[in-house]
C-alpha cells in the first residue's frame, strides 16, 4: 500500500444517499480470486445500460470526470455487504478519497486498509461540494482538512491509527504480527479453547 | 475496571477479548474465538498470506464452507456451476484449506450450508464468543449473545495470520422491544419494522443489543433472523442476551460439551447478560404489538410498509428514484402487485422453522402458474430435516423447485437470478438495485408472506392462510 498524504484533484459528485456496495460493484463481479482489475466493474449497472453501452448522463461518464480522484457521495456511503471488492474497484478505477457526511462502518475500515481516504465532513461543507461538481479541492490527510471551492475549509476526523496507516502505507497486519508474544500470552490465559476439529 | 461497575453484555465480551488494550496511538487488539470463511471473500486473503510467507495461526479455530457462488442445481449428479470462475473459487478454497489444515464443508457434505446457518447448527456459535467472517450477515450469530461481525478480506488475512483484529470500541445501542407479535407476524417483520422506524444508518458506529419481552419470547431461529439484519440498520453487530432458550438450543450440539462441561458453560453464560443499571450509549424503544406483515417497496430495507398500508409518497429524490426503479406507484398498497418469482431462502430465512412456516401456508395448495417458487434450504442439515418431515413434498406438490443449500438468489452469484424488471417476493435481506439480478426488483418479506404471494401470484397477505 502506497502512503497517502495529500490529494489534489477535481471531484465527481454522486449525490444519492445510502449507496450500497452492491452498486459500487455488483456481486456477479465477485467471482474472481484476485484483487486487481476491478475498476472496469465499478458502478457497472449505473455506468452502463442493459446493452453494455455507457450512459452519458452518469456522473462518472461525463468528460469532466476524466482523471478525477475524489468522489463526493451522499450519506451512509458504502452500506450493505462487507465486500472489500468495493474499495478495490474504486482505487483500481483511480479514486483516492470518498467524501461524504457519513460512511458505513465496514466500508470505512476496508477503505483505510486500501489507501482510499474516507473523509466524513459536516453537512454544510458537504452541500457546498455537492453544488460544485468538478471543483478542484485538496484533501490533507495529515492535517485532516479539505479545502472547499468557496475558499473555506472543512475538518475531518480519522482515528489516529487509521491516519498513520494512510500516511505510512503500513497496515494493521504488521502491527498485529509484532504483538505475537502478547497474543500468545492471552491465549495461554484462556480456558475457552476451541475443540480441535 | 472496577468489577462492580455494571456492564452491558457487549462490554463483558469486549473486556474478555482484549489481547492488548487500546493505547494512545492504536486501537485494542481483539482476540477472535471463531473464524468462519467461504469461497468468495477468502482467496485474496490466502494470497496475501502466501505473499508474506505466513501460516494460518489457528486452523482449529477456523471453519470453511462453500455457499455464496455455488450452484444449487445438479445436472446428471454434477453441480451445475455458472461458469469457470465460480468453479475456480471453490477449488481455490479447497486448496487453501488443504494447505493450511482448515476443516471445510464441501458441496454434498452433510455439514455444508450457508455460513451463518451452519455455525449455530454445529454449536460453533456460543454465547460470549467473538466470531468473525468475511460477510456482513455475520451479525446473525449475535442471537446467541456472541459479538459477531462482518469483516473485509484484508481483515480475513489478519485473523488467519494472528487470530486477532484491531478494533476501535463501538458504542452501544439498546433497543427495547415490547408487545407481542400478532398472527402471521414474524421476526422478519419485526426487524423490517425496526429498520423502517429508525433508518438504515441508525446503528452506524454501534453494537445493538435487542432487549425486552418481545425479544425474549422469540425462539433461537427467530432471534437469528432479527440479528441477521442488524447490518441493514447500519450496525456491524446486533446481539441478544443468552437465556434458557439459548442454552436449550445449544445442548447436544456437536461442538458443545455435554454433562458437567455443559453445566459449567451454562453457569458462565448466565453471567453474560447486561447488568442491572448498566448504561447504553444510546437507547431506543419499539412496540412490536402493532406490527402487521411487512413488505419493502423500495431499494433499501428501510423503504417498507405494512402489507395493508399504502406505499408512502416519496419524501425525497432517492425515494422517487427507488419507486421508479421498482415500477411501483405510491398511494396504494403493494397487495396484488404481480410477482414473477418467489424466493424462500438465505441466511435470514432458510432455517427449518422458516420452511415449516412456509409449508404450512402452501400445504395442499398450488402456486399461481405465473409465479416461479424457488425454495433453497439454508444447509444440508435443514434440507435433510425438511425432507424427513415431508416438507419437500409439500413444496414440490405446490409447484416449487426444491434446491440444494446455498446463498442462491439472495446474492445471485451462481446463476439463480431475476431477469430485468422481474419482481421477486424474497425472504432474503437486501432489496438493493440489481441485488437479485441486474434490473431485478425485490420485495423483502417473511416466509409466510412469500408463500402466500406464491399462491396468489402477487404480493399477498399471509394471515388469511393462517386462520384455521
> Please, what is the angle between helix B220-228 and helix B352-362, to 10°?
100
The per-residue pLDDT for range B118-136, each reduced to its tens digit, is 999 999 999 999 999 999 9
Distance CA B337, CA B315 (A): 22
Task: Give the residue among B161, B165, B99 at the shortest CA–CA distance from B132.
Answer: B165
The per-residue pLDDT for range B238-289, each reduced to its tens digit, is 999 999 999 999 999 999 999 999 999 999 999 999 999 999 999 999 999 9
Contacts of A20 in chain B (CB under 8 A): 300, 430, 432
Calculate how close chain A gets to B188, using CA atoms only, in Å. Answer: 17
Contacts of A24 in chain B (CB under 8 A): none
Is any Cβ of chain A less than 8 angstroms from the Cβ of B93? no
In percent, how much of chain A has pLDDT > 90? 94
Is the pLDDT at A27 greater than 90? The verdict is yes
**Over chain A, what is the mean pLDDT?**
95
CB B369 within 8 A of CB B378: no
Contacts of B166 in chain A (CB under 8 A): 161, 172, 175-176
Length of chain B: 468
Q: Is the Cβ pair A22, B129 closer than 8 Å?
A: no
B196 membership: H or E segment, kind and range: helix B187-198
* Cell numbers at B414, concatenated: 451462481
CATH code of the region B171-287 = 3.40.1060.10
The per-residue pLDDT for range B32-77, each reduced to its tens digit, is 999 999 999 999 999 999 999 999 999 999 999 999 999 999 888 8
Question: In this predicted structure, which of A115-119, A191-195, B212-216, B442-446 has the lowest mean pLDDT?
Answer: A191-195
Domains and CATH numbers, chain A: 6-188 (3.20.19.10)
In percent, how much of chain B has pLDDT > 90? 98
The per-residue pLDDT for range A164-194, each reduced to its tens digit, is 999 999 989 999 999 999 999 999 998 544 4
A7 membership: H or E segment, kind and range: strand A6-14
Q: Is the Cβ pair A110, B89 closer than 8 Å?
A: no
Considering CB atoms only, which of B44, B59, B234 is closest to A79?
B234
Query: Pairing relation of β-strands A136-140 and A145-147?
Result: antiparallel
CATH of B294-466, one of 3.40.50.300, 3.40.50.2000, 3.30.499.10, 3.40.190.10: 3.30.499.10
| Domain coordinates in residue numbering, chain B | 9-167, 171-287, 294-466
SS3 content of chain B, % helix, strand, coil (to 5): 35, 20, 45
Q: Is the Cβ pair A22, B430 closer than 8 Å?
A: yes
**Secondary structure E strands in A35-96:** 70-73
pLDDT at B4: 75
- Could you tell me how many CB contacts below 8 A there are between chain A and chain B? 192
Q: What is the DSSP string of B20-69?
A: E--BTTB-EEEE-SEEEE-TTTSHHHHHHHHHHT---S-GGGEEEE--SS
Q: Fold identical between B171-287 and B294-466?
A: no
**Over chain B, what is the mean pLDDT?**
97
Q: Is the Cβ pair A31, B44 closer than 8 Å?
A: no
> For the domain B9-167, what is the CATH superfamily, name and number?
Aconitase, domain 3 (3.30.499.10)
Calculate how close chain B gets to A152, using CA atoms only, in Å. Answer: 28
The predicted model gives B329-336 an average pLDDT of 96
Q: Is the Cβ pair B318, A81 closer than 8 Å?
A: no
Q: Is the Cβ pair B152, A109 closer than 8 Å?
A: yes
Listed by number, the residues of chain B in 103-142 with a beta carbon closer than 8 Å to a beta carbon of chain A are 103, 128-129, 134-136
Contacts of A75 in chain B (CB under 8 A): 201
Q: Is the Cβ pair B33, A194 closer than 8 Å?
A: yes
CB B204 within 8 A of CB B235: yes
The predicted complex's ipTM stands at 0.96
Q: Is the Cβ pair B25, A18 closer than 8 Å?
A: no
Is the pLDDT at B3 greater than 90? The verdict is no
Total Cβ atoms within 10 A of residue B364? 7
Amino acid at each position: 500500500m502506497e502512503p497517502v498524504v495529500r490529494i489534489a484533484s477535481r471531484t465527481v459528485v454522486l449525490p444519492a444517499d445510502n449507496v450500497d456496495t452492491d452498486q459500487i460493484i455488483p456481486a456477479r463481479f465477485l467471482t474472481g480470486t484476485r484483487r486487481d482489475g476491478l475498476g472496469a466493474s465499478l458502478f457497472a449497472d449505473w455506468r452502463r445500460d442493459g446493452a453494455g453501452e455507457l450512459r452519458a448522463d452518469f456522473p462518472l461518464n461525463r468528460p469532466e470526470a476524466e482523471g478525477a480522484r475524489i468522489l463526493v457521495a451522499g450519506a451512509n456511503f458504502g452500506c450493505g455487504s462487507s465486500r472489500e471488492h468495493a474499495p478495490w474497484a474504486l482505487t483500481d478505477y483511480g479514486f483516492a478519497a470518498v467524501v461524504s457526511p457519513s460512511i458505513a462502518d465496514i466500508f470505512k475500515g476496508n477503505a483505510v486498509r486500501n489507501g482510499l481516504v474516507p473523509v466524513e465532513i459536516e453537512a454544510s461543507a458537504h452541500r457546498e461540494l455537492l453544488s460544485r461538481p468538478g471543483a478542484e479541492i485538496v484533501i490533507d490527510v495529515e492535517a485532516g482538512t479539505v479545502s472547499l471551492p468557496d475558499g473555506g475549509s472543512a475538518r475531518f476526523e480519522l482515528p489516529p491509527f487509521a491516519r498513520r496507516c494512510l500516511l505510512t502505507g503500513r497496515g494493521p497486519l504488521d502491527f498485529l504480527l509484532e504483538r505475537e508474544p502478547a497474543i500468545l500470552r492471552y491465549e495461554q490465559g484462556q480456558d475457552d479453547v476451541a475443540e480441535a476439529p | 475496571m472496577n468489577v462492580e461497575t455494571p456492564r452491558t453484555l457487549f462490554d463483558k465480551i469486549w473486556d474478555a477479548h482484549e489481547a492488548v488494550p487500546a493505547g494512545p496511538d492504536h486501537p485494542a487488539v481483539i482476540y477472535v474465538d471463531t473464524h468462519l470463511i467461504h469461497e468468495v471473500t477468502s482467496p485474496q486473503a490466502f494470497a496475501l498470506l502466501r505473499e508474506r510467507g505466513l501460516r494460518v495461526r489457528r486452523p482449529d479455530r477456523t471453519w470453511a464452507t462453500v455457499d455464496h457462488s455455488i450452484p444449487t442445481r445438479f445436472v446428471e449428479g454434477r453441480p451445475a456451476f455458472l461458469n469457470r470462475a465460480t468453479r475456480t473459487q471453490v477449488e481455490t478454497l479447497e486448496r487453501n484449506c488443504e494447505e493450511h489444515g482448515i476443516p471445510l464443508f464441501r458441496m454434498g457434505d452433510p455439514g455444508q450450508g450457508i455460513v451463518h446457518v451452519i455455525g449455530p447448527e454445529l454449536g460453533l456459535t456460543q454465547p460470549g464468543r467473538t466470531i468473525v467472517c468475511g460477510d456482513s450477515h455475520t451479525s446473525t450469530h449475535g442471537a446467541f449473545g456472541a459479538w459477531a461481525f462482518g469483516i473485509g478480506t484484508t481483515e480475513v488475512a489478519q485473523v488467519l495470520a494472528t487470530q486477532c483484529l484491531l478494533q476501535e470500541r463501538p458504542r452501544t445501542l439498546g433497543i427495547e422491544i415490547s408487545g407481542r407479535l400478532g398472527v402471521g407476524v414474524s421476526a422478519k417483520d419485526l426487524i423490517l419494522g425496526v429498520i423502517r422506524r429508525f433508518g438504515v444508518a441508525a446503528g452506524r458506529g454501534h453494537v445493538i443489543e435487542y432487549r425486552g419481552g418481545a425479544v425474549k419470547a422469540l425462539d433461537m431461529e427467530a432471534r437469528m433472523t432479527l440479528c441477521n439484519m442488524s447490518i441493514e440498520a447500519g450496525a456491524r453487530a446486533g446481539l441478544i442476551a443468552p437465556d434458557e432458550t439459548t442454552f436449550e438450543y445449544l445442548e447436544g450440539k456437536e461442538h458443545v460439551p455435554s454433562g458437567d462441561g455443559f453445566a459449567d458453560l451454562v453457569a458462565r453464560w448466565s453471567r453474560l447478560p447486561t447488568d442491572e443499571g448498566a448504561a447504553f450509549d444510546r437507547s431506543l424503544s419499539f412496540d412490536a404489538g402493532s406490527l402487521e406483515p411487512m413488505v419493502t417497496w423500495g431499494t433499501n430495507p428501510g423503504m417498507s410498509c405494512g402489507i395493508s398500508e399504502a406505499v408512502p409518497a416519496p419524501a425525497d429524490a432517492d425515494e422517487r428514484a427507488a419507486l421508479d426503479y421498482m415500477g411501483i406507484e405510491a398511494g396504494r398498497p403493494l397487495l396484488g402487485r404481480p410477482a414473477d418469482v418467489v424466493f424462500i431462502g438465505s441466511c435470514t430465512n432458510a432455517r427449518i422453522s422458516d420452511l415449516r412456516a412456509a409449508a404450512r401456508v402452501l400445504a395442499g395448495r398450488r402456486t399461481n402458474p405465473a409465479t416461479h417458487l424457488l425454495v433453497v434450504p439454508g444447509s444440508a442439515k435443514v434440507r435433510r430435516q425438511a425432507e424427513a418431515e415431508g416438507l419437500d413434498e409439500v413444496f414440490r406438490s405446490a409447484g416449487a423447485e426444491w434446491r440444494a443449500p446455498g446463498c442462491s438468489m439472495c446474492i445471485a452469484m451462481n446463476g439463480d437470478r431475476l431477469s430485468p424488471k422481474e419482481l421477486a417476493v424474497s425472504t432474503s435481506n437486501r432489496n438493493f438495485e440489481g441485488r437479485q439480478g441486474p434490473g431485478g426488483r425485490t420485495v423483502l418479506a417473511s416466509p409466510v408472506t412469500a408463500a402466500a404471494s406464491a399462491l396468489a401470484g402477487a404480493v399477498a397477505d399471509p394471515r388469511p392462510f393462517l386462520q384455521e
